[in-house]
Structure formats: structure tokens, C-alpha cells
Amino acid sequence: MMAMRPSKTSKLSIAPFNFPAKQDKDYAQRTWNTLRDALYQIFARNTGSLSFEELYRYAYNLVLCNQGAMLYDGLQQTLSSYLQTMAARLHGANEAELLDALRTEWHWFRIAMTHVRDILMYMDRAYVALAKKMPVYELGVSLFRDIVVRDPVIGARMTSTFVALVTASRSRYSYHTGGADMACDELDWALLRSVTGILLDMGDDAVGRSVYETDLERALLEATAEFYAAESRALVSEMTCAEFLRHVEQRIQSECRIAERCLDMGSSVPKLIAVVEDQLLARQMAVLVEKESGLSHLLQIDALEDLRRMYLLFHKVAGGDAIIQQGLRKEIVAQGTRLISAEEQNPNASPSPAAAAAGASAAGSSKTASRAHSKSSGEGAAATLAPHDPLAFIERVLEMKKKYDRIAATSFAIIPEVGMMMIGSGGGGSGSAAASSRTILEADAAAAVAAVYESSSAAFGTALTATNTTPDKRYVNVIHEAFEQFFNAFDRSAEYLSLYVDRALRQDAKAAGGGETAGITSGAHQADDENSTDVVLNRCIVLFRFLQDKDVFAKYCQMHLCKRLLSSSKFAEESERAFVLKLKNECGYLYTSKMESMFSDIKLSADTNAAFRESIREDGAGGRHGHGPGQQQGTGSASGMPIELSVQILTTGSWPIQPVSDGNSGGGGGFSSGSRAGSGPGSGAGSGAPAPAPTLPASVRIALDRFEQFYVARQEGRKLTWIWHLGTVEMRGLFGGCSVRGPVSSGAANAGGGSGGETGPRKYELTVSPYSMCVLMLFNSRDAMTYREILELSGVPAAELKRTLQSLSLAKYRVLTKEPRAKDVQPADVFSFNDAFWNKSVRVRIQTVVAEKENDEEKQETSGKIEADRKPQIEAAVVRVMKARRTMEHNHLVIEVTELVRARFTPTPQDIKKRIESLIDREFLARDADDQRLYRYIA
């Protein structure tokens, strides 16, 4: 049986016609004519009888019949023809109607182009994309731009009309009504905004330039510059600086408002503000700052808000910060120079004996210079202080520094929340045409612009109350440099600053002891208020940092510390050590080594006095008990000690003390240590030739001899030099009802209160210097003596005797009377015991007359000591540098040595050269044989 194979499937094919299909030759033209007529109907807004579906099919068929080029070219010709007709119509519109007519034409043309784009959608997809032609809608926009908008007549009239309306709105602005209240509502801002929208919809032209920027914005910016240039010239001479700055601020706000209402914010806001800043600020900054009402005046009256406004406005202009900083530095230096000039008018002015004694006893009490604070510049507080007063000078400088710190923290501060880019910081151009055209119409963009100019107005007040502001470091540095410049221009700055610190620490000691304060809180009860001792000392450290010659301050600080430690029964040890620690942190250990040694000597002296009292007890003497270091300790009389004695043992070299010679007064420094009853000088171990001993009472001489024997036996090889003019003696005096009156020695009168009246015997406890004690003891036997007699009998050096007699007869407590009552002491002057002396307090402290600041002779002596101390420091620095470098040129060596010792002082090149010559003479260095300016280190 045979198997059947399946048959192959045959394929059916249709052969093409042997002749092409026939087309109507007039089909394409007829179809295009239909479409062209429809286009004109669309432009004429007669679309009611048109079938858009049919029109779409006509266009579709033409593209299918490869007639896309004919369709595209026909569309372009039709649009051009229609737009030329439109331009002709706009030529006939007057100035008032042009913008509105243009807006209307654009509105209907855009709607018409939307219909045309829908009809020719297939051409856009098939032909335009392949032929790389401009899409239908963009083609219409481009032709509208070139034929209508950029028509020479229409474009010029459109731009001039737009600019004229905006300029008119600026002209109606009034400074007194403010930029936000200008007559904006009289303009049709919607019309102007629509014109801006038309230009933004045009996008970029054929060469890539923004139509909005080239056709409108450029002319607007030129007109804006002309307007503000004329306004600036007119107002800069009429307004004060503060008024002009407020005017600029309001002008910036008004330009932001104009941009919000009718311009492209992203493109125009930064440019408009740049024009305002250039015409009103950049070209007038120097004039504004130098005006009589300019920066100097604003700084003097503490116009914080106006200064803040100036900072924010000038900050955005090139060179603005430099102009403010230059004016700020100039004003600070000028104010400081005026303070110095006022002080230098009478640099040798000394207080009267009464005032000097009062100042010495109070050590800077409120009668001398009370701390006063003012909300303004601080000059009101300084005005209450005495003229030619060192404390008043430093007080003024501190108030001035406080004032400018406040200005830096408020007016010249950077605020993170607001920043400096709030206005005009928007960068770049307008972006794409579509994005730019939408931006100006959206509510969130308008709100953003509103926030810009509202924040610009709020920024000036924000800095004055913000707690998170950061001062601009550039301005802080300028303030520091200016203070350093004028503070170092005054050769007494270091001395005066030390006196101010001395006053603060004395008041702290007085407060800690229960006395009244003069505006400074005790260090034992430190508070955060500005009057606390720690705050005052911190402010002094700020001024200390300005000093270039810090070794000069160290010298005066040691002298005043010496007085505080030794001239009173109590000192504020906590505050004293805290201040020394501050200095140590600033300049290192060596800077404060002598001061720390002083504290050690005080403690060791207390131990020595305790051992001395113990030795008295071991000898079987009874007596009172001591009271601690710096106070009076009791010693008995049964073992031959008729008075209480306390002695401070001081290390030579650590204390700035010079014994008094017969021809001149003693150097700086001061002791305070005295007997509780009877008489006895405070003493110390000094250096140099011993001062001639005054004629001491027998009881005092016995006590001193006893202590010296004890000390020499305890410390073999050491020698005591008594510093007579710096001791303190407590003695009893009897006034009224005695034939031979006067102070009496130990045991002559019991301690107790006075009579409380002006008649009858009155008993007082007088605290005086050892020299005063020697003088007063002479009046136990005589009622009156001449100066010559007192000089011969007391043994007190002449210069010290004159000071002593002035303090006893011319100061606050006049236990002696002087004839004649002249200030100066002459050899023939007669001094008498004042039997009528009365005081409500039983205890009377009589200080020797001293001037708070040094006279020229004393200052010259101090300067000589400072120069002598600098010589080894400069030489050590030279050797240190040369040992490391081995060879070095002169100028380079001077620079390195200056940098090495700058922390202590700033040497002059001449001083360094002298020290180099001295080292060459001593063969530490040698000059190079070929180059005399080259030095070589000799090992």
C-alpha cells in the first residue's frame, strides 16, 4: 500500500499596475487654497463655520502627497502677510493705545496659532521633524517677533512708552511717604506686565539673545541709571547721611515692587538693584562717609540702626566695606587722640595735698573716679571724672571700647537667617522662554519677591535684637587696630592702666573687708554684672593686649602690687592671684614670676612673724595673739617688747623698692604693716644703700633690735635693710585740755572712743607712717617748731619730711597747723600742735601726700629701669637667633629679633643695633670680613 505525500501550498501574488495612479494636478493647490482661506478666517476670529476635522484631513493628505514643503512655505507666507497687516494697524495707534493694542493683538494671535498648530499637527510630526524646520507655533511666535515687535516704529514706541510709564511711577515717589506708599495704583500694571510677558514669550532671537533683555530691559536699565544719577546729584547735598541711606533702602524696595508688578524678577531685580547701588551708593559712598552727618557723626551719637543700614548697603558695593573700615579707623583714632590731648594738656598736674592724701587713703575711691556707665558713647560717664586723672582716662577708653564692641555686635554683624544675599543675589539670565514667561505670573514667585524686599527692610532692625549675630571679623580687626594705634601713641598708657587695675583691686579688698564699694562688686561675691571685679579686670586685659610695650606695664603693675600687698592690712588675694594668672596666660610664666614671688614673700613673712611671737612666748613673755598675715600680731611686753610689731621680709630683686636717700624721695612701691598699740614701723628687706634712720622712740628701737637679732640668728648670712618710708604705725593721741599736748607713746592712753564733742579731752588712734610718727612724737614736749628744727630733731630726709608735714597739716586730717598756710613747705614755716583737732571716728588714718601718677623725674627714672631690663632680653634674643643661624644679614637679624621679643615689647632697630655692637665688643658675634652687614656667631 502506497503512502500519500501532502501537496505543496501554492502562493497567490498580485502584480502591480504597469502605469502609475493618476492624481489631480490641481488637488494640492485647491487643498492649500482651502487651508489658506481657513487660516484667514481663524485670524479674523470667524471659526464658527469651519470644520477643524476636515481641515486637519486636508493638511494630512497634503503631507501624504509629499506636499509638506508647499504647505510649510505657504503657512509662512500667510503668517507674514497677516502680521504685516497687523503691524500696519498698530502704526496707527497713538502712544496711549499702543501697548493695549499690542496686548490685544498678541492675545488673539496666540489663540489663533493654537488652532493652526492643531490643524497642522501631522505636518509638525512628519515633515517638520524630518526637515528640521521650526514648529508651527514657534514659527508664528518668531514671525510676530520679527515683523511686529521688532518693527522699527512699533518696537521703539513700545519701549519708550513702557520706560516712560515706569519712570513716571518713580517720579511720583516721595521720601517722606516711603517707597511702599508711592502712587503705584495710578498705573495699569497689568498692561505693563502683559507687555513683559509678550517679550518673554518671544524667547531668544536667531543669534541667541533674549528678546526681553535686548528690546526692553536694556533701555529700562539705561533710563533707570539716568534717573537715579540725577536724583543722586540732587539729594546728596540736601539730605543727611542717615536720610540718604534710608532713601536708598526705600528705593531698593520700590524697585523690587516694580519688578514684582511688571518685570521679569529673575532677570531684572538684581540688575535694577545694581543700578540703584551704583548710582546712589557706589558713586556717592566717599561723599556720604565724609559728610558732616556721615560715618563719624553716626559713630559719635551711637546711631546703631543707621550704621547697620550703611553696613548692609555698602557691603554689597565693591569697595564699600573698605570705605567704612577706613572711616571707622579714622574716627576711633581721632577720638583716642582727643582723649590723649586732653590728658597731655597738663601732664604734670598734681592733686592738692588734701586730694592726694584722700586719694591715697581711699586708693581710688568714688570721690576720685567713680565707675559710671552710659547707654550712649560713654563720654557722659567720663565727664563726671576729674580732669587729668589717670583713672578717668582709662575709664573713658574702656567705655569707648565697650561702645565700639556694641557697634560691632549690632551694626556690623552678620545674621545667618537674613544673610547678605537677600537682594540682588539672584543670578543668571531669564532662563528658557517658557520658564521665564510663567515665573512672573505665578503667585509663589510674587510671594518670593515680596519676601525679598520685606526682608531687606526687616534686616536693619533684626540685627539690633538678634542674639545669634556674629560680628564681622574684618570690622572687629579694624577696631582692634585703631585702639592699638592710639593707645600706644600715649606714653603713659601702661602706667595709667596699671593704676586703674590697682583701683579695682583695692576696691575689691575694701568690699571683701565689709567697707563700701565704689561701683565694683567684690571678688568674693563675683556676679555676671559688668561691675564685678572679674569683669572689670577682663576689660583691662583687653586694653593690655593693645599694649606693645608690655614690659612697661609689668614694671608699673609690680610697683602697684607692692603697695597693695604692703600698704593695707587686707588685700583681695583671690582677685590678685586671678589677675596675675590672666597676665600669665597672656605672656607666659616669666612675665609674672616676680609678682608670684611677692605672694610667696607675704606668706613666708607671716610664718616668720608667727615664729617671732613664739620665741617671745618661750622667753616667758605674755601678750596678745596675732591675726594672720598682713595684720598686726600681738607681742608681749613682759619680755622687753613694749609694742606690737609685724615685719614683712621681702626678697631683694622681686620687689620694686628703693630706699629713700636724704636728697630725694623714695621710688614706687608701698608697705603697710604696723603696730596695734604704741608705735613701730613696717619693715622690709631692701637693696641698695640703706636710708638714714630717723630718730626713733626708744620703744620702737627696742622692738626692731629684738626682731633683727631673731632674724639674723634664724637666717644666717642675710642682712635686713629697713625701708622706713613704707611702714605703718598705729599710735594714740590726746587732744584738748593739755598744756603739753600731743601723741603719746605706748601705754600713755587707753584705746577708746573720743568724747564725741568739740570740747574736753579727746583720744584718737592715729595710723601714720614711721616718719610721721617721728615728727608727731616731737610735739609731746613742744607745742610749736619750725621746719628746720623738725628736720634736725626727727632725722627724716628733707624730701620725705616735706611730704610728711603736708599730710599732717594740709590734708584731710590736720593734727598740726602750719603758718603760713601755703602749699609749699619753706624752712621758716612754723608747725604747731592742733589742740582743736576733732573727728567723729576714733580711728584716723593719715596717708603721706603722694601723686597718683609719676612726675617727669620719676617717669624718667622708671623708663631708665625699663631700658636697662630690656638690654639683656634683646641680647638673649640676638644670641638665640645667631646660634641657630650661625651667619645672618643685619636687616634679617633685626626682623627676627623683633618678632622674638614682640610679646614683651617692641624694640627699635637702633636699640637692637646697639645690643649687636655690645655683643661684638664682647666677642659673641663678629662681622664678616667682606660684608660689614653680615654677622657671624662665635662659638
Q: What is the SS3 string spanning 722-788? A: CCHHHCCEEEEEEECCCCCCEEECCCCCCCCCCCCCCCCCEEEEEEECHHHHHHHHHCCCCCEEEHH
What is the rounded average pLDDT of the residues 609-625? 70
Considering the domain architecture, whether residues 724 and 784 belong to the same structural domain is answered as yes
- Condensed to tens digits (0 to 9), the pLDDT of residues 607-616 reads 888 888 888 8
- Per-residue pLDDT at 436: 36
- Per-residue pLDDT at 118: 92
- Condensed to tens digits (0 to 9), the pLDDT of residues 367-401 reads 333 333 333 344 443 333 444 678 889 999 999 99
Q: Which of 314-328, 725-739, 779-793, 884-898 has the lowest mean pLDDT?
A: 725-739
Query: What span, in angstroms and rounded, lies between the C-alpha atoms of 130 and 138?
Result: 16
- Condensed to tens digits (0 to 9), the pLDDT of residues 307-337 reads 999 999 998 888 889 999 999 999 999 999 9
Please determine, for residue 497, whether its predicted confidence score (pLDDT) is greater than 70: yes
Please determine, for residue 6, whether its predicted confidence score (pLDDT) is greater than 60: no
CA distances from 543 to 303, 335, 399, 484, 863 (A): 25, 16, 11, 8, 21
- Condensed to tens digits (0 to 9), the pLDDT of residues 102-134 reads 999 999 999 999 999 999 999 989 898 888 899
Q: Is residue 748 part of a domain?
A: no
What is the rounded average pLDDT of the residues 52-65? 90
CA distances from 389 to 142, 564, 810, 852 (A): 83, 20, 21, 9
- Per-residue pLDDT at 175: 56
Considering the domain architecture, whether residues 129 and 143 belong to the same structural domain is answered as yes
- Per-residue pLDDT at 690: 56
Q: Is residue 752 part of a domain?
A: no
Considering the domain architecture, whether residues 144 and 163 belong to the same structural domain is answered as no
Q: Is residue 81 part of a domain?
A: yes
Percent of the chain with pLDDT over 70: 73
Please determine, for residue 353, whether its predicted confidence score (pLDDT) is greater than 60: no
Whether 139 and 75 have beta carbons less than 8 Å apart is answered as: yes
Region of 319 (left: φ > 0; alpha: ψ -120 to 50; beta: rest) is left
Please determine, for residue 361, whether its predicted confidence score (pLDDT) is greater than 60: no
- Per-residue pLDDT at 57: 92
What's the pLDDT band for 662 if we cut at 50, 70, 90? very low
Q: Which residue has the cell 585703631?
A: 482
What's the pLDDT band for 716 if we cut at 50, 70, 90? confident
- Per-residue pLDDT at 688: 43
- Per-residue pLDDT at 179: 47
Q: Which of 281, 304, 325 is the last residue of a domain?
A: 281
- Per-residue pLDDT at 780: 87
Considering the domain architecture, whether residues 113 and 32 belong to the same structural domain is answered as yes
Q: Is residue 217 part of a domain?
A: yes
Please determine, for residue 571, whether its predicted confidence score (pLDDT) is greater than 50: yes
Q: What domain range includes position 896?
A: 858-937
Q: Which of 831, 850, 869 is the last residue of a domain?
A: 850
Percent of the chain with pLDDT over 90: 16
Considering the domain architecture, whether residues 821 and 881 belong to the same structural domain is answered as no
Considering the domain architecture, whether residues 109 and 197 belong to the same structural domain is answered as no
Query: What span, in angstroms and rounded, lies between the C-alpha atoms of 139 and 129?
Result: 13
3-state secondary structure at position 868: helix
- Per-residue pLDDT at 121: 92
Q: Which of 45-59, 197-211, 420-434 has the lowest mean pLDDT?
A: 420-434
Q: Which of 390-399, 413-422, 492-501 has the lowest mean pLDDT?
A: 413-422
- Per-residue pLDDT at 299: 92
Query: What span, in angstroms and rounded, lies between the C-alpha atoms of 539 and 529?
Result: 13
Considering the domain architecture, whether residues 776 and 865 belong to the same structural domain is answered as no
Considering the domain architecture, whether residues 209 and 264 belong to the same structural domain is answered as yes
Q: 784 - beta bridge partners? A: 832
Considering the domain architecture, whether residues 812 and 863 belong to the same structural domain is answered as no
What's the pLDDT band for 799 if we cut at 50, 70, 90? confident
Mean confidence (pLDDT) of the chain: 76
Considering the domain architecture, whether residues 836 and 867 belong to the same structural domain is answered as no
For CA atoms 385, 389, 395, 401, the dihedral sign is: positive
Q: Is residue 710 part of a domain?
A: no
What are the CB-based long-range contacts (under 8 Å, 24+) for 597-603?
597/651, 597/654, 598/558, 598/561, 598/562, 598/565, 598/650, 598/654, 598/655, 599/565, 599/573, 601/648, 601/649, 601/650, 601/651, 601/654, 601/655, 602/565, 602/629, 602/630, 602/648, 603/629
Q: How far apart are the first and last CA of the chain?
A: 133
Output phi, psi for 532, to 5 deg: -65, 150
Considering the domain architecture, whether residues 44 and 108 belong to the same structural domain is answered as yes
Q: What is the CATH number of the domain that holds 917?
A: 1.10.10.10
Which amino acid would we find at residue 706? R
| More confident site: 345 or 409 | 409
Q: Is residue 479 part of a domain?
A: no
Please determine, for residue 37, whether its predicted confidence score (pLDDT) is greater than 80: yes
Per-residue burial over 742-781, b if 16 or more Cβ lie within 10 Å, else e, is: bbbbbeebeeeebeeeeeeebbbbbbbbbbbbbbbbbbbe
Q: Which of 196-210, 773-787, 848-862 has the lowest mean pLDDT?
A: 848-862
Q: What is the CATH number of the domain that holds 823?
A: 3.30.230.130
Q: Which of 591, 616, 641 is the last residue of a domain?
A: 616
What is the rounded average pLDDT of the residues 509-519? 58
What is the rounded average pLDDT of the residues 762-769? 88
Q: How many domains does the chain have?
A: 5
Query: What span, in angstroms and rounded, lies between the C-alpha atoms of 808 and 803?
Result: 9
Q: What is the CATH number of the domain that holds 83?
A: 1.20.1310.10
Q: Is residue 798 part of a domain?
A: yes
Q: 744 - beta bridge partners? A: 732
Considering the domain architecture, whether residues 89 and 195 belong to the same structural domain is answered as no
Q: Is residue 421 part of a domain?
A: no
